[in-house]
């Protein structure tokens, strides 16, 4: 196979609907918009949820309860098994070093260490929280867990 033999999958490419190009275009005169009225005008139409002036559904339904989704912490999760391949024995592991090693990406409020995998080397861990079984594995390997430094 060579570069000039590649082509898009069948059905992936469509002809552009050419509006306003006269009767013979197949979309002639009104450009598939019908005659006059609100949706035939340029830049118009209705917003999502508009019901023609009737009270829309999202305003008719009762609003109840309270969600804590806006206040919830987003945890960055790292497993114990990922540490051995990326850190040397005796290393201090915190959020910064985890990001440098590529184990933590994106935005997170707190970092949690979980127990999936095995750990052979002794580390000094300084993350926001550690599961009980991860704590056991770290201490069994000779490591320590500290409170994170701000």
- What is the rounded CA–CA span in Å between residue 94 and residue 148? 7
In the predicted model, what is the mean pLDDT of residues 5-23? Answer: 89
In the predicted model, what is the mean pLDDT of residues 61-74? Answer: 90
Residue range 87-140, pLDDT digits in tens: 999 999 999 999 999 999 999 999 999 999 999 999 999 999 999 999 999 999
pLDDT given for residue 149 in this prediction: 67
Domains of the chain: 14-64 (no CATH), 75-145 (3.100.10.10)
Phi, psi of 67 (to 5 degrees): -110, 135
What does the H/E/C string look like for 23-84?
HHHCCCCCCCCCCCCHHHCCCCCCCCCCCCCCCCHHHHCCCCCCCCCCCCCCEEEEEHHHCC
- At residue 150 the predicted structure's pLDDT band, cuts being 50, 70 and 90, is low
Place of tokens 């592991």: 93
Three-state DSSP at 111 gives strand
Three-state DSSP at 136 gives helix
Nearest to 111 by CA among 123, 122, 99, 124: 99
pLDDT given for residue 118 in this prediction: 93
Q: What is the pTM of this model?
A: 0.56
Residue range 27-66, pLDDT digits in tens: 888 888 888 888 888 888 888 999 999 999 999 999 899 9
């Amino acid at each position: 196979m060579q570069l000039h033999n590649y082509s898009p999958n069948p059905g992936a490419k469509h002809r552009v609907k050419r509006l306003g190009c006269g009767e013979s275009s197949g979309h002639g005169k009104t450009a598939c918009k019908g005659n006059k009225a609100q949706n035939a005008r340029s830049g118009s139409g209705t917003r999502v949820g508009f019901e023609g002036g009737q009270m829309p559904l999202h305003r008719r339904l009762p609003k109840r309860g309270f969600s804590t989704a806006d206040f919830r912490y987003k945890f960055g999760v790292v497993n114990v098994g990922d540490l051995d391949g990326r850190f040397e024995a005796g290393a201090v592991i915190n959020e910064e070093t985890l990001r440098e090693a590529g184990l933590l990406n994106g935005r997170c409020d707190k970092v949690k260490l979980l127990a999936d995998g095995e750990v052979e080397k002794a580390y000094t861990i300084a993350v926001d929280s550690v599961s009980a079984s991860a704590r056991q594995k770290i201490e069994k390997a000779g490591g320590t867990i500290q409170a994170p430094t701000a």
